[in-house]
Chains A and B, each alone.
Chain A
Amino acid sequence: MPENEITTKALTKNFGKFVAVDNLNLDIKGGELFGLLGPNGAGKTTTVRMLCTLIEPSGGTAVVAGHDIREEPALVRREVGVVSDGVSLYKDLTIEENLKLLSTLYELPKNKAEKRIHELMDMFGFREKAKRLVGALSTGWAKKAMICAALLHEPKVLFLDEVTSGLDPQSAIALQDFTRNLCNEGVTVIWTTHYMGEPEKICDRIGIVFAGRLVQVGSPSELKHSVNELYTVEVVSPGLTKAQLNKVRGLADVCKVSYEEPLLRVTCEKYEGLAEEVAGALLSSGAKIRSINTKEPTLEDAFIALTGGEEEIDRFLEKSLQKK
């Protein structure tokens, strides 16, 4: 079992009276791809900035790659790589020149630095763009350049903060695959995003953050199954009578039945055979079915349920906007 690469204990960050991160407790293992999922303003970026020592916590502590972020920030910096919107490369230099500068700042031996730069440029396909200034690269290539820079000193922990925003779907998928491979090589990756679909596909575990608090941690499957309303069958069936609805309610394991003409929604704890049973009950009572659709719980459902429902999220987002 790999050791924890990141451990936070009651990590807190206040900006004046506003609590951006509230008592965050996390354990992330080496080589894990950990997703931090939450809406804008939830505290994801602040968490990343604290863990990579750009900002100081107001309370609590964290150990990253074996070093305390408060006691040994310089050592933490040697072990982490960061790709974030507020961190950039020199636009008036080429990617190679940027990497050379960083290799000096990270005190890499010259031979090793040159080898690593060539390796990264080959890996990311920068050979043909070696002479092009970073400012002249497209968004996708600029992101790749940022990742190159973050990986230059072979960090143990890589923070990818909203890294796919602005990327085309192909580049985003390629980046997800690349990140997965990095984790297979032992790099611990913290992937923050507000896109629900991303972490579900690639992360080993996900932490749902909301209003500065870590609401739940688990694998995508665990999170999806941690909410009560698990499986749903949606049936488009006009003119259902009370008797027909009661027949559906009478089915075994059915938790909830709601009908808003013409949509019937049935939620149940089990998945196997649910659609067939509902359809059978309706047809046998003479109802007409236009369409039937089975829905597995998604991360989005889990997120909404865990964060107190859509209204609560709307209230939070409104507050965040007002703050801005």
Chain B
Amino acid sequence: MIDSLAVAANDLRRFTRNRTSILISLIILPFFFTASLGAGQGGAGTHFSATADIRMAFIDNDYSIASGRLWQTLVSSPDFHRLVQGYTEQTAIASLGRGRIYAAIVVPKGFAADLANNNTARIMLYTDDSEPGVSDQIQAALKNDIQNFNPNLEVQPLRFNTSLFPVQIIQKGTVFAGFNVGLTIVLGIVQIFAGFYEIAGGMAREREEGTYARMLLSPISIGSILFGKTIFDLLLSTLRTFIVLGFAVFVYGAKPNTDLITLLSLSLLLALVTMGLGFVVSALKVGTRAVVILEFFLVLSLFAFSGLIIDRELLQGVSHTISILLPFSYGFDALKRTILLGTPVLSLTTDLQFMVGSALLFYGLSYVMLVRSRERLST
């Protein structure tokens, strides 16, 4: 234990000596990501329309000129600044209540034909029913805009009772008025990005400089080295959590629906999974350059498969399988559910099991690999 603490203290001393490390790890990464996403949502509330900044999906099942014109009408309206395409009716419904979209406008097949035959054409509006006030506002805005498009058009609202689905309802205020979604993304990305580089990159540097061999020549065990480096990185991860959280709350008005201990625990658990992966990579004797390249792949895979940008429910085939296997997906999911929905952390058994299991797996694997490749890593 004392030798592990010595390793941690040593890493900390070296970290405090290195201005670049401090700058990247504790300032640039947290501030850059938070500011980028924060500035992206900075315009919320400045539009006159109450529905302008509510993200909604537009699903065109008719593929007609008329439905295309309807899309043009809606996106050019001041009420629908955040109308997006790309969802199917099913995926849109699945995404309601996850904080990604709040409503789905569906143009059914036969829409153009109804208009051409002077029949009443219909479009469907699915809304997250957690905030009836907002749903009504969306409906009113939609009614108003489509009257301008064609007076024969009707809006058929379908209230979406999310309690029937395995997803929980997101409170309107926490999703749209603040920076909670941004907080989940920034916290996850920053912990993974920094944690991986600090462990895999740090170990690669130590090996290349010969200090790892120096350590192996002393009586310290591989387990103590792992433990010491983990203590140090957990300390940094804690600092980063507070920095991101402080910035998100005090600058961008995030209001997490969970307590600090839950948020910190999940953030550190995510960091632990990342550190475990970092140790596994370091046991493969990759150089510092290779670590940087791997970091890009890691972050890209996070963007693509972890539900960070695209909801996991929208992923198909191989992408969906990868997202299921990717332990970080569960970390992001747990962060979303606690920060956005206020779900008690202990009820997130699947997420927690996957994260703890992954951390144990990575640490166990890295320990075995580091012991077995002791010879390779010392030369």
- Is A54 an interface residue when CB atoms closer than 8 A count as contact? yes
Contact of B379 among A52, A54, A74, A102 (CB under 8 A): A54
Interface residues of A in 246-267 (CB under 8 A from B): none
* A171–chain B nearest beta-carbon distance, Å: 20
Contact of B6 among A74, A85, A105 (CB under 8 A): A105
Contact of B218 among A49, A77, A88, A92 (CB under 8 A): A77
- Is A215 an interface residue when CB atoms closer than 8 A count as contact? no
Is the Cβ of A106 less than 8 Å from the Cβ of B210? no
Is the Cβ of A89 less than 8 Å from the Cβ of B3? no
In the complex, which residues of chain B have a beta carbon less than 8 angstroms from the beta carbon of A107? 2-3, 219
In the complex, which residues of chain B have a beta carbon less than 8 angstroms from the beta carbon of A92? 14, 17-18
Is the Cβ of A149 less than 8 Å from the Cβ of B214? yes
* A62–chain B nearest beta-carbon distance, Å: 15
Contact of A54 among B18, B211, B375 (CB under 8 A): B375
> Given contacts A104-B3, A105-B219, are A88 and B210 in contact (CB under 8 A)?
yes
* A50–chain B nearest beta-carbon distance, Å: 10
Q: How many A-B residue pairs have CB under 8 A?
A: 69
Contact of A105 among B215, B375, B379 (CB under 8 A): B215
Is the Cβ of A54 less than 8 Å from the Cβ of B6? no
In the complex, which residues of chain A have a beta carbon less than 8 angstroms from the beta carbon of B215? 105
Is the Cβ of A77 less than 8 Å from the Cβ of B14? no
In the complex, which residues of chain B have a beta carbon less than 8 angstroms from the beta carbon of A319? none
Is the Cβ of B214 less than 8 Å from the Cβ of A55? no
The CA-CA distance from A102 to B17 in the complex, in Å, is: 19
The CA-CA distance from A78 to B217 in the complex, in Å, is: 9
For A77, the closest partner residue in chain B by CB is B219
In the complex, which residues of chain A have a beta carbon less than 8 angstroms from the beta carbon of B220? 105
- Is A269 an interface residue when CB atoms closer than 8 A count as contact? no
- Is B13 an interface residue when CB atoms closer than 8 A count as contact? yes
For the complex, would chain A's binding face be called helix, strand, loop or mixed by DSSP majority? loop
The CA-CA distance from A80 to B216 in the complex, in Å, is: 12
Interface residues of B in 6-42 (CB under 8 A from A): 6, 10, 13-14, 17-18
For A54, the closest partner residue in chain B by CB is B378
What sequence of 0s and 1s flags, for each residue 353-378 of chain B, a beta carbon within 8 Å of any chain A beta carbon? 00000000000000000000001001
Interface residues of A in 83-121 (CB under 8 A from B): 85-93, 97, 101-102, 104-107
- Is A82 an interface residue when CB atoms closer than 8 A count as contact? yes
- Is A162 an interface residue when CB atoms closer than 8 A count as contact? no
- Is A234 an interface residue when CB atoms closer than 8 A count as contact? no
* B18–chain A nearest beta-carbon distance, Å: 6
Q: Which residue numbers of B lie inside 8 Å of A, CB to CB? A: 2-3, 6, 10, 13-14, 17-18, 209-211, 213-220, 375, 378-379
Query: What are some 30 contacts across the A-B interface (CB < 8 A)?
Result: A54-B217, A54-B375, A55-B375, A55-B378, A56-B375, A74-B219, A77-B218, A77-B219, A82-B217, A86-B213, A86-B378, A86-B379, A88-B209, A88-B210, A88-B211, A89-B211, A91-B209, A92-B18, A93-B14, A93-B17, A97-B13, A101-B10, A102-B214, A104-B2, A105-B215, A105-B218, A105-B220, A106-B218, A107-B2, A107-B219
Q: Which residue numbers of A lie inside 8 Å of B, CB to CB? A: 49, 52-56, 74, 77-78, 80, 82, 85-93, 97, 101-102, 104-107, 149
